[in-house]
Amino acid sequence: MRLSGRIIRGIGGFYYVYTEHGIIECRARGKFRISNIVPIVGDNVDIDTENLKDGFIINIHNRKNELVRPPVSNVDQAIITFSIVNPALNRLQLDKMIILVELNGIHPVICINKIDLVTEDVFAPLYNLYKNLGYDVIATSKFDNIGIDKLKAMIIGKTSFFTGPSGVGKSSLINCIQGTNKQEIGDLSEKLLRGKHTTRNVELIPFENGYVLDTPGFTSLNLDIDETELKYYFRDFRNYELDCRFKSCLHINEPDCGVKIAVSNGLIDKIRYSNYLNLYNELKSNKRRRY
Ligand SMILES: Nc1nc2c(ncn2[C@@H]2O[C@H](COP(=O)(O)OP(=O)(O)O)[C@@H](O)[C@H]2O)c(=O)[nH]1
Ligand SMILES: [Mg+2]
Ligand SMILES: [Zn+2]
């Protein structure tokens, strides 16, 4: 019998395919090895099964997108989760993450979690900054039960990838929206003690006609773009770069730069601009190292 489904987990050559008849344990047919395609979590596949328990993957549908770390395909949106304190927010890391997600053709959702730990005048400016740039932003707290229903509504029918630093509450949020305790949570100190070797398997959790993916948190992020293209990922610049004297202006040292004027007038957020400069320099020095 031929069925279609989605790979939700892969361990040692076995792929667990979620189908209308439940989860079927599959192996890949040799032809994938010949064409150099390795099935990954997230793939939509056709399988062949006799008993609805195990079977073979016979076809992998074209991927809409594909992430390398963690290896997962066909992601619709990334819930970029951060807290403002405990752990402290690193705005450079946040802006870098947004760009990384957009580069991969994935819709970013910015989730400011643990808002029970700060007052509104602390998180509202951040919320408004990204909201005004046109991003989907959500403020959440598991203890005060804020934003959980909104988050739930945002993930229905989609494949959502929770990402963000360790300890910000990704696993907790997934537990909250599912109403379970399936995801392992822990405090920061515990996690740091356990160290880097706690790489868990990538697993898609079927939920509300969609899927969620928990990740252990990122350590290093590499943007794979030329530094001259970075400016296109800063929406803040769009209205002001028309005022730059040069069309090729990178908004760094050029004279009559509309972006720099907007920064000094407070029309563009200063930290966003300084993150742009930091990332620009980082990309430039990475390139130098490569050659
Ligand atoms: N104050 C507060 N703490 C939270 C919240 N969400 C999670 N935590 C705590 O933060 C710690 C890390 O949570 P966890 O879900 O494991 O974070 P993860 O590493 O991003 O998956 C745990 O001790 C949680 O209880 C929240 O909304 N408010
Ligand atoms: Mg976690
Ligand atoms: Zn400029």
CATH of the domain at 20: 2.40.50.140
Same domain, 117 and 43: no
| In contact, 231 and 275? CB cutoff 8 Å | no
Q: So what's the pLDDT on residue 197?
A: 41
Considering the chain, what is the average pLDDT of its residues? 91
Which residue type is seen at 114? K
| In contact, 263 and 285? CB cutoff 8 Å | no
Task: Tell me the per-residue pLDDT of 238-272, one tens digit each, with 9 for 90 and over.
Answer: 999 999 999 999 999 999 999 999 999 999 999 99
Q: Is the pLDDT of residue 223 over 50?
A: yes
Q: Which of 284, 222, 206 is nearest to 252 (CA)?
A: 284
Residues with CB under 5 A from ligand 3 (ion): 244, 249, 251, 257, 259
Q: Is the pLDDT of residue 190 over 80?
A: no
Ligand 1 touching residue 187 (CB < 6 A)? yes
Same domain, 72 and 46: no
Across 178-193, average pLDDT:
68
Ligand 1 touching residue 96 (CB < 6 A)? no
Q: Beta 107-113 vs 136-139: how paired, if at all?
A: parallel
Same domain, 173 and 246: no
Structural domain containing residue 254: 227-290
* Burial class of residue 252 in the structure, from the number of CB atoms within 10 Å of its CB (0-12 exposed, 13-18 middle, 19+ buried): middle
Same domain, 245 and 114: no
Q: Is the pLDDT of residue 183 over 60?
A: yes
Domain boundary among 62, 87, 104: 62
Confidence of residue 202 (pLDDT cuts 50, 70, 90): confident
Ligand 1 touching residue 148 (CB < 6 A)? no
CA of 135 to the centre of ligand 3 (A): 23
Task: Tell me the per-residue pLDDT of 42-96, one tens digit each, with 9 for 90 and over.
Answer: 999 999 999 999 999 999 999 999 988 788 999 999 999 999 999 999 999 999 9
What is the distance between the alpha carbons of residues 282 and 159, in angstroms, rounded to a whole number? 31
Instruction: Write phi, then psi, for 271 (nearest 5 degrees).
Output: -70, -40
Number of H helices, E strands in the chain: 8, 13
Across 162-190, average pLDDT:
84
- Which residue is closest in CA terms to ligand 1's atom 14? 169
Question: For residue 261, which ligand has an atom nearest its CA?
Answer: 3
* CA-to-CA dists, residue 143 to 113, 117, 176, angstroms: 10, 10, 10
For 245, residues 6+ apart whose C-beta sits below 8 A from its C-beta are: 254, 255, 256, 257
Q: So what's the pLDDT on residue 280?
A: 97
| In contact, 162 and 75? CB cutoff 8 Å | no
What is the distance between the alpha carbons of residues 5 and 3, in angstroms, rounded to a whole number? 7
Across 8-33, average pLDDT:
90
| In contact, 46 and 58? CB cutoff 8 Å | yes
Across 209-227, average pLDDT:
83
What is the distance between the alpha carbons of residues 189 and 20, in angstroms, rounded to a whole number? 41
Same domain, 267 and 286: yes
Which residue type is seen at 219? T
Beta-bridge partner residues of 55: 26, 49
Helix/strand/coil for 68 = coil
Q: Which of 113, 117, 119, 102 is nearest to 147 (CA)?
A: 113
- Percent share of the chain, pLDDT over 90: 77
Domain CATH for 163: 3.40.50.300
Q: Which of 93, 185, 187 to mutate to test the pocket of ligand 1 (most atoms within 8 A of CB)?
A: 185
Domain boundary among 34, 62, 90: 62
Q: So what's the pLDDT on residue 195?
A: 46
| In contact, 136 and 108? CB cutoff 8 Å | yes
Q: Is the pLDDT of residue 184 over 60?
A: yes
CA of 231 to the centre of ligand 3 (A): 10
Ligand 1 touching residue 217 (CB < 6 A)? yes
Here the tokens at position 142 are: 């598991």
Question: Tokens 């160290």 correspond to what residue?
Answer: 195
Least confident of 22-36, 42-56, 177-191, 273-287: 177-191
Q: Is the pLDDT of residue 193 over 60?
A: no
Same domain, 50 and 149: no
* CA-to-CA dists, residue 140 to 6, 72, 234, angstroms: 30, 26, 25
CA of 241 to the centre of ligand 1 (A): 40
Domain CATH for 251: 1.10.40.50
Q: So what's the pLDDT on residue 179?
A: 85
Indicate the annotated binding residues: 113-116, 164-172, 244, 249, 251, 257
Here the tokens at position 99 are: 């760009």
CA of 247 to the centre of ligand 2 (A): 44
Q: So what's the pLDDT on residue 54?
A: 96
Same domain, 72 and 194: yes
- Percent share of the chain, pLDDT over 70: 91
Across 110-122, average pLDDT:
97
Confidence of residue 188 (pLDDT cuts 50, 70, 90): low
Domain total for the chain? 3
In a domain, 156, yes or no: yes
